[in-house]
Structure 1
Amino acid sequence: MPSLKGSIVLVTGANGGIGTEFVHDALARGASKVYATARTPRTWEDERIVPLTLDVTDPDSIQAAVEAAGDVTVLINNAGASVASSGILTHTIEEIRTNVETNFLGPLFLTRAFAPILSAREESVIINIHSALSWYAVAGIYSATKAALWSATNSLRLELAPAGVHVVGVHVGYVDTAMAAHTSEPKTDPADLVRTVLDAVEAGEYEVLADDTSLQLKAGLSAPIEAVYPQLTAKNA
């Protein structure tokens, strides 16, 4: 089973609420080093944490990260972008491009860049943070990009399994971070989410359904489209 003990972890979006919890929990589980990446890295009060500049939308930045962190054994694709409005037709071109580049192309290209390094390790892990909204298309381009990442994760899992790379996909609804500050819906505590994810990793699981919302949406994927989106029935009534 994969273990965090002695691992060398790279976390994207490490300055945010979820990313910060990944940094701390990985160390608590015995990681020997954590690369805490962000576009503008912050200072950390632990010599085991290495701040590293990384913009997942910039190929040169990705290559620089690979060169600086060639000893990584656990890659956590956590960085993400969201949109203020839900309608995919009302998003600006910039919002669409930012979400596609940050939520889908960024983690895909970063994983491609680190794949040779991870494949050369006896035991390595990739964790991709999807969303419950990857299964529920009410968040416009955000849902679309998270759905694309879910599909890419399934492909990566199959392609990297022969090399011994364990690929984990994470689905969760609202998390109590700045990104979800606009809603009063129930939210998962970031520390609870990260604990659930890393417990699943160490148990050898491939997919994490971190809350009731994710469980319900996954269970409903086989339902008729009108059951998933009752507003379609209401429109045609």
Structure 2
Amino acid sequence: MDLADSTVLVTGANRGFGRALAAELLGRGATVYAGARDPGRVDLPGATPIPLDITDPASIAAAVKATGDVTVLINNAGSPPGAELLTGDVDAIRHEMDTHFFGTLSVVRGFAPQIAANGGGAILNVLSGLSWVSFPEAGAYCAAKSAEWSLTNALRLQLAGQGIRVAGLHVGYMDTDMVRTVTDAKSDPADIARIAVDGIAAGAYEILADNASRQAQAALAGGVAALYPQLP
């Protein structure tokens, strides 16, 4: 698809990867709504800030009403890994599911009719290599991202008949505030944004942006032994 003719809503666009996505899209001539809980923190020239809290149904409804011309939705807003499953705070675990699964679903339910009414387009859900492999210390995040991957697959089938192509972006660590304490190798968000937008333009269903995500996907075929070799 020609993104220069598209109007794109990016959630969580005030910083990090969301800001990089919005900048990449603007550079390709797209019209960009930059969704953020605090739109005053959007500092990207050319983008139109829009208030949007993906966990608040009223905020989503207001964003739908305030737009009308969206043809591409990028569900980027999320929360950092913060809870493990056995002893973690249940409210923190629920927050991760509310954000990544229910939040993404609510935004899609709000904007899919608008995209369809505008002749169709695309939805990109920003997933993770952790959609496919879990680490105990980030168990809630991994579970939420896995659920979001399943959601992406189901919506892809449901929305295809309305001319909406649903894609998932899988990526490992990016050099953003969300993982500032992580010492492993991190990708440049601007590089991943370019790969993601290339994928949308090409009509890809699944975009694997780095080696970490490619390795995680490949390990799925090997089952538990390949995913978790530390098990006896």
TM-score, normalised to structure 1's length? 0.93
Aligned residue type for 1:29:
R
1:92 Cα deviation after fit:
0.9
Matches within 5 A, 1:182-201: 182-201=181-200
Report whether the alignment pairs 1:75 with 2:92.
Answer: no
Matches within 5 A, 1:59-74: 59-74=57-72
Match of 1:129 among 122, 126, 138: 126
SS of match in other structure, 1:71: coil
Report whether the alignment pairs 1:105 with 2:136.
Answer: no
Q: In the aligned structure 2, how far is the partner of 1:214 from the partner of 1:44? A: 30
Q: In the aligned structure 1, how far is the partner of 2:217 from the partner of 2:44? A: 40
1:177 alignment partner in structure 2: 176
Q: In the aligned structure 2, how far is the partner of 1:51 from the partner of 1:58? A: 17
Greater alpha carbon shift after TM alignment, 156-165 vs 224-233: 224-233
Q: In the aligned structure 2, how far is the partner of 1:95 from the partner of 1:6? A: 40
Q: In the aligned structure 2, how far is the partner of 1:68 from the partner of 1:82? A: 28
Q: Deviations over 1:27-67 (max 9, x none)?
A: 11111x21111111124353x42111111001111101110
Q: In the aligned structure 2, how far is the partner of 1:146 from the partner of 1:10? A: 21
1:119 alignment partner in structure 2: 116
Give the fraction of aligned pairs with identical amino acids, expressed as a percent: 49
Q: What is the Cα-based RMSD across aligned positions, in Å?
A: 1.3
Q: Is the 8 A contact 1:126 1:167 kept in 2?
A: yes
Match of 2:93 among 93, 96, 100: 96
1:6 Cα deviation after fit:
2.0
SS of match in other structure, 2:231: helix
2:139 alignment partner in structure 1: 140
Aligned residue type for 1:141:
A
TM-score, normalised to structure 2's length? 0.95
Q: Is the 8 A contact 1:104 1:148 kept in 2?
A: yes
Q: Deviations over 1:174-198 (max 9, x none)?
A: 0100111111101110000000011
Q: Is the 8 A contact 2:128 2:169 kept in 1?
A: yes
2:229 alignment partner in structure 1: 230
Per the alignment, do residues 102 and 45 of structure 1 end up closer, same or farther by CA in structure 2, a change over 3 Å counting? closer
SS of match in other structure, 2:3: coil
1:159 alignment partner in structure 2: 158
Per the alignment, do residues 131 and 43 of structure 1 end up closer, same or farther by CA in structure 2, a change over 3 Å counting? closer
Q: Is the 8 A contact 1:83 1:95 kept in 2?
A: no
SS of match in other structure, 1:137: coil
1:216 alignment partner in structure 2: 215
Q: After the TM superposition, which segments of 4 or more aligned residues of structure 1 sit over 4 Å from their partners?
A: none
Aligned residue type for 2:75:
N
Aligned residue type for 1:23:
A
Q: Is the 8 A contact 1:3 1:201 kept in 2?
A: no
Q: Is the 8 A contact 2:196 2:209 kept in 1?
A: yes
Aligned residue type for 2:114:
I
1:227 Cα deviation after fit:
2.5
SS of match in other structure, 1:220: helix
Q: In the aligned structure 2, how far is the partner of 1:204 from the partner of 1:80? A: 24
Greater alpha carbon shift after TM alignment, 223-232 vs 191-200: 223-232
Q: Is the 8 A contact 2:166 2:205 kept in 1?
A: yes
Q: In the aligned structure 1, how far is the partner of 2:42 from the partner of 2:178? A: 22
Aligned residue type for 2:231:
L
